[in-house]
Amino acid sequence: MTSAAPTPHTLLTPGPTPIHPRAVQALTRDMLGHMDPVVFALNRDIQQGLRDMYGAAPDTFTALLAGTGSLGMEAGFANLVESGDEVIVCANGSFGHRMAEMAARYGARVRLVTAPLGEAIRPEDVAAQLDDHVRMVAVVHGETSTGVLNPVPEIAELLRGRDTLLTVDAVTTAGMEPFHMQAWGVDYAYTGAQKCLSAPPGLAPIAVSDRAFARFHARRSPTPLWYADLDGLRDYWVHQSYHHTVPVNLHYALHAALSAALEEGLEVRQARAAHIGQAVYHTLEPLGFRHYVQDPAQRLPTVLALRLPDGLNDAAVRAELRQREISVTGGLGATAGLIWRLGLMGESARPAPYRTLMLALEDILGVPGLAGRFTETLTEIEDAVPA
């Protein structure tokens, strides 16, 4: 074991993100029991904060699952899908396909709606698969594997007046972009604490509509996933009775990070990500980096997917960055070696870490002036915003 003080790390991955300083501090609070009145008061505050973050109706059930974003995903299918249900899953990247696999494991007859990598799901393709037998449509809002933003409001519009639940993976959007669960008509949404909120990994904030609860209560048999059973969760989060031992220290940290996000304001955070993303792009474009997602309207503001210039050795450059304590993520599967995915969620969407990246790239690529160009461009973008 080594005892040397760690060098500060610049984490520019599309999750996890650097932990918010207030969340770091909150982690050091004295441990309390999961049934302590102070913890229940904190949980109530978290539930209200999550309603605000998701744009949910005032009485919407919100909670934290003790697991990562994938548990949020799995809990949705485990609670709301039964064997034989027809489910449309939109899959234009790794996480959409993960949804499809989970839905199938819980017995869904999956109707897959796909789009080429780097392109958004087309609502007309969803409409073409939709009929009265479809019990749920599931879609990833921001597909982290490609940096694509899927048209959730348009897909939601197709479901108006139908008895079809809408499940949305909000892992790369909720907490950094306005999300309108009630206005859009979303029934189940989830994220992971370590993404846009910049809290430690290990919690999945969820929101469940009344309609989703009604579907859950009409099940023919209990969910096979006892740990995330909606009634069990409600026992703890609403009726304050024991279900399982929640990670109280992670609740403290998430509460701090969520409060910081809501105090800052989701529109402000959205602009912060957009401005830094634009400045990064303008700085790197002359080197040959290009947007991977062609249509600007389909670009996810929180994950900047950049096609690498010809001749840039992805593995070697990222290894050199890692030597300098800078983490940058490459492509997944078909895009491995072709793209970088730069995180612009939570505390990664700050000027300082991107300036650090630019200084390192100046050195590694032998191109001076990147950090200066980044700072100047960001200042110009921010100055151009009407006060």
Instruction: Return the number of the residue (253 or 378) whose C-beta is nearest ligand PLP.
Output: 253
Positive/negative CA dihedral, 318, 321, 325, 330? negative
Give the whole-angstrom CA distance, residue 30 versus residue 326: 32
The answer to whether 190 touches 138, Cβ cutoff 8 Å, is no
Query: Distance between CA atoms of 37 and 47, rounded to whole angstroms?
Result: 15
Among 18, 49, 55, 69, indicate the residue that binds ligand PLP (CB under 6 A): 69
E strands present in the chain: 10-11, 61-65, 86-91, 109-114, 134-140, 142-143, 148-149, 165-169, 188-190, 204-208, 290-291, 303-307, 326-327, 329-330, 339-343
Pick the binder of ligand PLP from 48, 70, 129, 375 (CB under 6 A). Answer: 70
Work out which of 10, 15, 19, 110 binds ligand PLP, going by CB under 6 A.
Answer: 15
Give yes or no for a contact between 155 and 166, defined as CB atoms under 8 angstroms apart.
yes
For 133, counting Cβ atoms within 10 Å of its Cβ (0-12 exposed, 13-18 middle, 19+ buried), the class is: exposed
Backbone phi and psi for residue 24, each to the nearest 5 degrees, phi listed first: -60, -45
Does position 327 interact with ligand PLP (CB under 6 A)? The reply is: no
Contact flag: residue 150 with ligand PLP (CB under 6 A): no
Binding mask 19-58 for ligand PLP (x = CB under 6 A): ----------------------------------------
Interface residue with ligand PLP among 10, 68, 164, 377 (CB under 6 A) is 68
Q: Find the binder of ligand PLP among 144, 198, 302, 356 (CB under 6 A).
A: 144
In the complex, least distance from residue 27 CB atom to ligand PLP, rounded to whole angstroms: 18
Stretch that binds ligand PLP, among 168-176, 228-236, 350-358, 365-373 (CB under 6 A): 168-176
Q: Which residue, 1, 169, 7, 207, is CA-closest to 90?
A: 169
Give the interface segment with ligand PLP, choosing from 47-55, 65-73, 311-319, 374-382 (CB under 6 A). Answer: 65-73
3-state secondary structure of 125: helix
Selected binder of ligand PLP within 49, 175, 192, 232 (CB under 6 A): 192
Least distance in angstroms from the C-beta of 64 to ligand PLP: 13
- Of 213-272, binders to ligand PLP (CB under 6 A) are none
Q: Which stretch binds ligand PLP (CB under 6 A): 42-50, 69-77, 238-246, 328-336?
A: 69-77
Q: How far is the CB of 276 from ligand PLP (least distance, A)?
A: 19
Site for ligand PLP contains 302 (CB under 6 A)? no
Task: By CB under 6 A, tell whether 74 contacts ligand PLP.
Answer: no
Determine contact, residues 192/40, Cβ cutoff 8 Å. Answer: no
Is 205 a binding residue for ligand PLP by CB under 6 A? The answer is no
Q: Of 80, 140, 136, nearest to 114 (Cα)?
A: 140
| Residue 171 engages ligand PLP in binding (rule: CB under 6 A) | yes
277 lies in the binding site for ligand PLP (CB under 6 A): no
Question: Quick one: 123 or 142, whose CB is closer to ligand PLP?
Answer: 142
Closest approach of ligand PLP to the CB of residue 317, in Å = 22
DSSP 156-177: HHHTTTSS-EEEEE-TTTBTTB
Smallest CA-to-CA distance from 196 within 330, 9, 349, 42 is with 349
With CA atoms as reference, report the closest residue to 67 among 257, 225, 241.
225
Q: How far is the CB of 218 from ligand PLP (least distance, A)?
A: 27
CA atoms within 13 A on the CB side of 116: 5
Residue 86 is a binding residue for ligand PLP (CB under 6 A): no
Give the Cα separation of 316 and 344 in Å (integer): 23
CB of residue 156 to ligand PLP, shortest distance in Å: 18
Binding footprint of ligand PLP on the chain (CB under 6 A): 15, 68-70, 73, 95, 140, 144, 169, 171-172, 192
